[in-house]
């Protein structure tokens, strides 16, 4: 087949797809999203996972729903109210915005979340497995907002710390600690908010599936480790070693000592885990390889894997490590992103064959998005601190 023929065929296929998409029958069983502001009817979600938004903008020329990197045109009625919906989205949480005559703005009807380097709109597509992060009448831990001084950065910093049910009443008990990091363009609000960390843990603990432990959720973004530190320029090795290690000094020299001082921790490497998603997974890899005595349990969610060679090149790692957990959304593996080295499933299987306690998890029918990471935490937490 000549190149021009292939191109023609693809153009035709794209036209057919767009046509099908335009005339697709939309199932009219929309319900308000659970991430709506109190009392708001819109945005809504239907059983196909389509998102329908509505906004009054009587003088606007055009309004669009911007979700999943696609902009969908809304239609105006006689009262100046615009309505429209997206193609079906994956189960779980998604960031989105509205576009009103060229202005990208949050939907005034949704709750707001930090991602894509902004506070903006979010929506929940009900998931078949949403029970594991549902709010239930079980014993609940607490998420605490903590300010502390960082000598590394010579500034006050801010994090969230989950303490499990029982922490407030069993005052002689000490707990292991997981340090849990967000992705690029996100911040310390990601895991406690859209990550639903506390509800996932409360439910796991209530079901007897996980040991109670403390979770520290801090800000690992590029500019946070040293004032003025910038994201690496295009063309540099990515992730550069100094970028990944950047957060390491703050974590090891400031955050861990603060947590061990302010909370009833088991303050040794055998009772300390680190995990993260995407950028946070790459930081987890770099930092746990650089500090094999400081962390014994490792989780890398959509952020690469640890190879047999990594372990061989890191004295002390094999002896101290209790768990390497690697996970991805299934759509990421189908469409593998560059920059993570070899095939992560193969690398993790080789690691397991070499005698390490290595686990590989795939979140079904999800991509590089929060539902993959909620499920990863749900799979990872029961494997922690099994001493």
Residues found near its own copies in the complex (CB under 8 A): 37-39, 55-63, 80, 97-98, 100-108, 111-112, 117-120, 135-137, 140, 142-149, 156, 168-169, 171, 187, 192, 198, 262-263
Q: How far is the CB of 60 from its own copies (least distance, A)?
A: 4
Q: How far is the CB of 43 from its own copies (least distance, A)?
A: 14
15 vs 135, beta carbon nearer its own copies: 135
What are residue 265's DSSP bridge partners? 175
Q: How far is the CB of 95 from its own copies (least distance, A)?
A: 13
Confirm if 250 and 222 have CB atoms less than 8 A apart.
no
The structure tokens listed for 318 are 């094999």
222 vs 238, beta carbon nearer its own copies: 222
52 vs 331, beta carbon nearer its own copies: 52
> What is the CB neighbour count within 10 angstroms for residue 148?
16
Confirm if 127 and 91 have CB atoms less than 8 A apart.
yes
Q: How far is the CB of 82 from its own copies (least distance, A)?
A: 8
From CA 370, how far away is CA 181, in angstroms rounded?
A: 13
Helices (H), 87-232: 197-206
87 vs 266, beta carbon nearer its own copies: 266
The structure tokens listed for 336 are 């593998």
- In this structure, are strands 92-100 and 81-85 parallel, antiparallel, or unpaired? unpaired
DSSP reduced 3-state for 22: helix
Q: How far is the CB of 349 from its own copies (least distance, A)?
A: 40
187 vs 366, beta carbon nearer its own copies: 187
Q: How far is the CB of 32 from its own copies (least distance, A)?
A: 15
| Contacting residues for 247 by C-beta, under 8 A, at least 6 apart | 181, 220, 224, 225, 283, 287
From CA 11, how far away is CA 254, in angstroms rounded?
A: 56
Confirm if 267 and 246 have CB atoms less than 8 A apart.
no
Of the candidates 342, 313, 314, the residue with the CA atom closest to the CA atom of residue 326: 342
Q: How far is the CB of 189 from its own copies (least distance, A)?
A: 11
The structure tokens listed for 310 are 């990594």
Q: How far is the CB of 55 from its own copies (least distance, A)?
A: 6
66 vs 347, beta carbon nearer its own copies: 66
Helices (H), the chain: 3-23, 197-206, 241-249, 256-262, 279-290, 308-312, 317-320, 330-334, 344-353, 370-380
5 vs 137, beta carbon nearer its own copies: 137
17 vs 119, beta carbon nearer its own copies: 119
Q: How far is the CB of 100 from its own copies (least distance, A)?
A: 5
String of DSSP letters for 114-127: EETTEEEEEEEE--
What are residue 81's DSSP bridge partners? 56
121 vs 321, beta carbon nearer its own copies: 121
């Amino acid at each position: 087949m000549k190149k021009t023929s292939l191109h023609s065929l693809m153009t035709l296929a794209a036209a057919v797809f767009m046509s099908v998409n335009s005339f697709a029958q939309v199932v009219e069983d929309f319900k308000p999203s659970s991430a709506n502001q109190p009392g708001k009817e819109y945005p809504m979600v239907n059983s196909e996972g389509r998102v329908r938004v509505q906004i009054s903008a009587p003088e606007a020329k055009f309004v669009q729903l911007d979700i999943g990197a696609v902009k969908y045109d809304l239609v105006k009625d006689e009262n100046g109210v615009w309505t429209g919906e997206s193609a079906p989205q994956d189960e779980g949480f998604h960031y989105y915005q509205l576009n009103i005559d060229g202005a990208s703005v949050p939907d005034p009807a949704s709750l707001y979340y930090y991602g894509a380097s902004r506070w903006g709109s979010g929506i929940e597509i009900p998931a078949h497995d949403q029970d594991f992060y549902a709010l239930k009448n079980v014993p609940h831990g607490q998420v605490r907002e903590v300010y502390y001084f960082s000598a590394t950065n010579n500034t006050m910093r801010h994090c969230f710390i989950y303490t499990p049910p029982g922490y407030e009443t069993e005052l002689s008990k000490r707990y292991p600690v997981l340090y849990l990091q967000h992705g690029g363009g996100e911040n310390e609000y990601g895991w406690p908010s859209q990550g639903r960390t506390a509800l996932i843990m409360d439910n796991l603990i209530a079901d007897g599936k996980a040991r109670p432990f403390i979770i520290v959720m801090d800000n690992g973004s590029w500019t946070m480790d040293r004032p003025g530190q910038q994201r690496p320029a295009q063309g540099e090795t990515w992730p550069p070693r100094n970028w990944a290690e950047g957060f390491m000094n703050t974590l090891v020299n400031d955050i861990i000592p603060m947590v061990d001082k302010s909370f009833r921790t088991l303050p040794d490497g055998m009772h300390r885990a680190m995990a993260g998603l995407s950028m946070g997974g790459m930081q987890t890899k770099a930092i746990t390889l650089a500090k094999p005595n400081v962390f014994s349990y490792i989780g890398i969610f959509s952020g690469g894997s640890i190879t047999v060679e990594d372990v061989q090149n890191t004295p002390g790692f094999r002896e101290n490590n209790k768990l390497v957990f690697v996970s991805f959304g299934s759509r990421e593996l189908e469409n593998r992103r560059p920059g993570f080295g070899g095939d992560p499933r193969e690398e993790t299987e080789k690691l397991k064959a070499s005698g390490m306690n290595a686990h590989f998890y795939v979140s079904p029918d999800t991509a590089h998005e929060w539902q993959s990471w909620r499920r990863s935490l749900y799979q990872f937490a029961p494997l922690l601190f099994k001493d």
